[in-house]
Amino acid sequence: MAQLIKLEDCVSRYEQDVFRYTGQYTRLKRDRWNRAKVNWEINQMKEDLYSPEQEHPSKSKWWKRKRGNPENEIIESGKVRIDPRSLSEVKEDFREELFQFQLKWASSTIRETSIISSSLKQGKFLRFLVQELPDNYLVLTNLSFK
């Protein structure tokens, strides 16, 4: 994913030190993805260990399904939480979370936060650029030089 470093009319932490924040973003992205993938793998192991089909019929009454979106249903048994999403769904969720995170970084500093227009948040072109270009690309939007 490319790094979104500047949005139109918004302050950006990259203005302060572009080298520091590009390296920090890369490390943060890698760490978050590793954590998300490990959590998914642990959930897959739990699913194999605590599958309701493998449980004794008398114990199956302890299994409850949470209400809500059936695609993202979580099964609980005591403290065991099983996430039935596939790895590709986890990747898509991660990419969306990372895009929202980049919008925040590209529109704020430690002391200031700019308001992002809804067209940028919902824009498919910006999302495509950020999500499809490699990490070493830096994206700036609608700049005007004075």
Domains in the chain: boundaries: 3-140
Cα angle 130, 133, 41 (rounded to 5 degrees) comes to: 80
Sign of the Cα torsion 54, 55, 61, 64 reads: negative
Amino acid letter for position 59: K
pLDDT for position 72 = 47
Is 41's pLDDT higher than 50? yes
Distance between CA atoms of 7 and 144, rounded to whole angstroms? 11
Is 81's pLDDT higher than 60? no
Model confidence pLDDT, tens digit, residues 2-23: 888 888 888 888 888 888 888 8
Distance between CA atoms of 39 and 57, rounded to whole angstroms? 28
List the single range of 26-35, 81-90, 101-110, 132-141 with lowest mean pLDDT: 81-90
Model confidence pLDDT, tens digit, residues 43-77: 888 766 655 555 444 444 444 444 444 444 444 44
Q: Which residues of 60-92 are buried (b: 16+ CB within 10 A; e: fewer)?
A: eeebeeeeeeeeeeebebeeeebbebeeeebee
> Mean pLDDT across the stretch 129-136?
87
> Mean pLDDT across the stretch 79-90?
72
Looking at per-residue pLDDT, the higher value among 28 and 79 belongs to 28
- The phi and psi torsions of 55 (rounded to 5 degrees) equal -75, 155
Helices (H), ranges, 1-146: 18-49, 87-106, 118-122, 124-132
Average pLDDT, the chain: 77
